[in-house]
Structure 1
Amino acid sequence: MEFKLAKFEVKEILPSSTSGNDYIDWGLKAINVEEAWQKTKGKGVKVAILDTGVNANHPDLAENIKEVADFTGSKSGAEDVQGHGSHCAGIVAGVENKLGIIGVAPQAELYCGKVLGDNGSGNYDSILKGIKWAIEKGVDIISMSLGSSSKPPEEFHQLIKQAYDSNILIIAATGNENSSVCYPALYDEVVAVSAVDKSLQHANFSNHGMQNEITAPGVDIVSTYKNGGYARLSGTSMATPMVAGAAALIIARYRDLFNGATPKIRSAYEILDKMTTDLGEEGRDELYGEGIINLAMLP
């Protein structure tokens, strides 16, 4: 069984630095992240990015990366040869340093597990190992911008349930085939994320269905990339870490308000669902789920 990236395309490679300020991508603005930053920037929340590895020395990532691991046997180790994992990591927690870009939760902690090979594909065994590692590290959130249209073995679902029972919020991409929601996003224990474009319209590549739970910007998203660079990518891969970053802000804010307590998993799911602005048909629908994440609603 093969899992693939939930990335649609690379539009362009951007210069390796930008001009003296943190670039705030249109997607972050669309979910009202700057309003949330007045209350929290996600400090101390642990987010596992299970992907193609990470460019661990990237100036916009290094400070927030707490641990990396390779589960693919790549000769490059946990280094991100593909670029996809680094892009997702930057969307979640690009460092606030007046250089390059900034992530949704710029003070969150990143645990980057390489579960997809240098060609962007992988098997369920490597992803199983990555999920087990994330559980062992006690992360708060697992973000997976990957998917398979084939149903994985029951062992895979059982591990997802174990992560859920460990109070880990699991977020995954619906996929990019303009079809039905793929695994692992299809599991009830996982928040399934679809993508919208700059007009906040359903992205034409994004998978959909009533299992789709929430939507976020996923077209022409600028973030960190391999070799210290930056890129503009599209896909439900980009929408997924957007929601993972939002979840990090929610958890951090909850801890601030409730003396360090972490919300129980069901409460975290419900908070995410409620912090949305309805799009498309009234109420939950196949294209947008509950709607687009809206961090202006952060208490």
Structure 2
Amino acid sequence: MTPTSTPPWRREKRAHFPGVPAWGLATARQAPERFEVSPLAGVTKEWAWGGADGTGARVCVVDTGVDADHPRIGGVERAYEVVSGDGGGLTVAGCAPADPAGHGTACAGVIRSIAPGASLTSLRVLTDGKTGSGSALVTGLRWAIDAGFDLINLSLSTTRSTFRESLQELADRAYFRRCLLIAAAHNMPVLSFPWTFSSVVSVASHDLADPMTYFYNPAPPAEFHARGVKVPVAWPGGREIRSTGNSFAAPHITGICALILSKHPWMTPFQLKTVLYLAADNTMQNGEAHVP
């Protein structure tokens, strides 16, 4: 078949719409693009995760910590933080399941709302929801990969290119250890890591309200769009606020991945990414694309 237009991955970047984080999708202005899929029969949302609640999936939230007492969290398996070791280097140690900033609690609450049966572990690498060292991120991510988690939620990134090589190595290591990294795109149109790596699942926002609606993005670097605008999220002190950002889109996909692994526990990262692609709301299944 002769292409009728330039393929999405060869086009200029989409415009950055006000009110939606960079790399996101403003559905009121631009509908999700219909995408012609090479057919793989039988993969539907029902097949992918119907009847699952996340039980059996081990998820690590690498962030600012998690307030385990929040009613939307309902406890965590364990809590850790990156600290200075005896020799001056960084190491990972157990800590109280708390969150001095709120960002990690918000992400964990999204995951729990979608996959209530999943096991959640908190790993604090950020201090106030915005700042933290690249070295702490590398140390924490290496520990989480070696600990054997199925899924690692990374609603964070670094713009410092000095950490690119280390993070790229860890992303590849995770991929071959059957540990899938779900990484939020930066909220600004800048280059950062690790969400731009092909071995991770990269997520930006859309502005629809359904937490289970997500779209495949045929024009990466962000591969998927999930709910990330005016999201009701858990906040320390038992509160709930509404917040916008790709940070909150990523845990929606993490939760969905937990459901899929709960039902299909032997899936590898590339199989899981393929299922996400086929079950997205704008891909072709049986000749019909599901676009709102």
Do they fold alike, i.e. is TM over 0.5?
yes
Tell me whether 1:47 sits opposite 2:59 in the alignment.
yes
Q: Following the alignment from structure 2 to structure 1, what is the Cα–Cα distance between the partners of residues 97 and 260?
A: 29
1:159 matched residue in structure 2: 170
Residues 52 and 153 (structure 1 numbering): CA distance in 2 closer, same or farther, change over 3 Å?
Answer: same
2:155 matched residue in structure 1: 145
* Aligned ranges 1:25-64 → 2 under 5 Å: 39-63=51-75
Which secondary structure state, in structure 2, belongs to the residue aligned with residue 210 of structure 1?
coil
2:282 matched residue in structure 1: 278
1:117 matched residue in structure 2: 127
Gaps in structure 2 of 5+ consecutive residues: 1-19, 22-43, 85-92, 211-217
2:267 matched residue in structure 1: 263
Structure 1 residue 278: Cα displacement: 1.9
Question: In the TM superposition, what whole-angstrom CA distance separates every residue of 1:18-49 from its partner, at most 9, and x where no partner exists?
Answer: xxxxxxxxxxxxxx999987511111211111
* Aligned ranges 1:1-299 → 2 under 5 Å: 39-63=51-75, 65-71=76-82, 79-93=98-112, 103-118=113-128, 120-151=130-161, 152-177=163-188, 179-180=189-190, 182-198=192-208, 210-255=220-265, 262-278=266-282
Q: Following the alignment from structure 2 to structure 1, what is the Cα–Cα distance between the partners of residues 190 and 274?
A: 23
Q: Following the alignment from structure 1 to structure 2, what is the Cα–Cα distance between the partners of residues 293 and 107?
A: 29
Matched to 2:183, the amino acid is A
Q: Following the alignment from structure 2 to structure 1, what is the Cα–Cα distance between the partners of residues 254 and 291?
A: 11
Matched to 1:118, the amino acid is D
Residues 238 and 184 (structure 1 numbering): CA distance in 2 closer, same or farther, change over 3 Å?
Answer: same
Matched to 1:185, the amino acid is W
Report if the CA contact (8 A) 1:198-1:219 is conserved: yes
- TM-score computed with the length of structure 1 as normaliser: 0.69
Gaps in structure 1 of 5+ consecutive residues: 1-6, 9-31, 94-102, 201-207, 256-261, 283-290, 295-299
Report if the CA contact (8 A) 1:276-1:293 is conserved: no
Matched to 1:188, the amino acid is S
Report if the CA contact (8 A) 2:228-2:249 is conserved: yes
Runs of 4+ aligned residues of structure 1 deviating over 4 Å after TM superposition are 32-38, 291-294
1:29 matched residue in structure 2: none
What fraction of aligned residue pairs are identical, expressed as a percent?
Answer: 29
Q: Following the alignment from structure 2 to structure 1, what is the Cα–Cα distance between the partners of residues 175 and 160?
A: 22
Q: Following the alignment from structure 2 to structure 1, what is the Cα–Cα distance between the partners of residues 274 and 190?
A: 23
Q: Following the alignment from structure 2 to structure 1, what is the Cα–Cα distance between the partners of residues 99 and 67?
A: 5
Report if the CA contact (8 A) 1:148-1:182 is conserved: yes
Question: In the TM superposition, what whole-angstrom CA distance separates every residue of 1:58-105 from its partner, at most 9, and x where no partner exists?
Answer: 232133x1011011569x965211101000000001xxxxxxxxx111
2:8 matched residue in structure 1: none
Q: Following the alignment from structure 1 to structure 2, what is the Cα–Cα distance between the partners of residues 157 and 53?
A: 24
Q: Following the alignment from structure 2 to structure 1, what is the Cα–Cα distance between the partners of residues 231 and 46?
A: 17
Matched to 1:112, the amino acid is S
Instruction: Kindly name which structure, 1 or 2, has the bigger radius of gyration based on alpha carbons.
Output: 2
- TM-score computed with the length of structure 2 as normaliser: 0.70
